[in-house]
Amino acid sequence: MTSAAPIGLEPATPAVTARDLTKVYGSGEAAVHALRGVDVEITAGAFTAIMGPSGSGKSTLLHLLAGLDQATSGQVWLDGTELTALGDTALTRLRRDRVGFVFQAFNLLPMFTAEQNITLPLQIAGTPVDRAWFETLVATLGLADRLDHRPGELSGGQQQRVAIARALVTRPAVVFADEPTGNLDSRAGAQVLSFLRTSVRELGRTVVMVTHDPSAAAYADRVLLIADGRIAGDIADPTPESVLTGLDALRSLDEVH
């Protein structure tokens, strides 16, 4: 039974919702069912991690929630808009204006400075830079003395921080991060994860991250476990130990079947 919201308060609207989401690659005997009827709600203003074994469907789920791929069936709503009902032009506009992306590859333009890379989405959209917000991001991410440097002059951790600032500069409804620490050493990875958590707790953003690392997932407020294309677990206030326990349970189920 669902509890009612307190009198005078509206229930919180999820940042992203998926209903009966499926994704099938190929057809016939060669068909691969990457997602099988997934229902999920991503809380606004929170840091959610998605974990699962290789081939479980976690990156597929992230891409569908972000509008980077098209579902075979089912529905996705992001910030109140149904992505699965949009045409290509409207979907491109929504991704540009309301979604931020951080990936394992930093995807910075080598000929641009850090500042130019950060503000690139605004330039593409023809939107003026909000200097106050820009300076808040730069200060929070510790980039003030690196703005004139090009990517080749930055460490991997600094490049990923520039990528995070670029993802946040448009004030997106949701930031999606796909293995954002995959190319970093443990120290730089911990810094990037701390900045992602700070962007949620101090800057009010919503972050959804796919990772294979239980220690990385423990930076999140919540961990969704996925196996065989289905949501198989939900861990609140995760620790590395609780995430490992959840993953071990998934492996045990897989061995049984």
Among the residue ranges 67-76, 212-221, 247-256, the one predicted with the least confidence is 247-256
Chain segment 16-57, per-residue pLDDT in tens? 999 999 999 988 888 889 999 999 999 999 999 999 988 889
Q: Which alpha helices (H) appear in 30-69, and where do they start and end? A: 58-65
3-class SS of residue 255: helix
Residue 108 Ramachandran class (φ > 0 left, ψ -120 to 50 alpha, else beta): beta
Domain edges within the chain: 43-69+87-256
What is the DSSP pairing of strand 73-78 with strand 16-25?
antiparallel
Chain segment 117-148, per-residue pLDDT in tens? 999 999 988 999 999 999 999 998 889 999 99
pTM above 0.85, yes or no: yes
Give the Cβ contact number of residue 54 at 10 Å. 7
Rounded CA separation 49/109 (Å): 28
pLDDT value for 255: 56
Instruction: State in words which class domain 43-69+87-256 has.
Output: alpha beta
pLDDT value for 253: 61
Chain segment 171-225, per-residue pLDDT in tens? 999 999 999 988 888 888 898 899 899 999 988 899 999 999 999 999 999 999 9
Rounded CA separation 134/232 (Å): 39
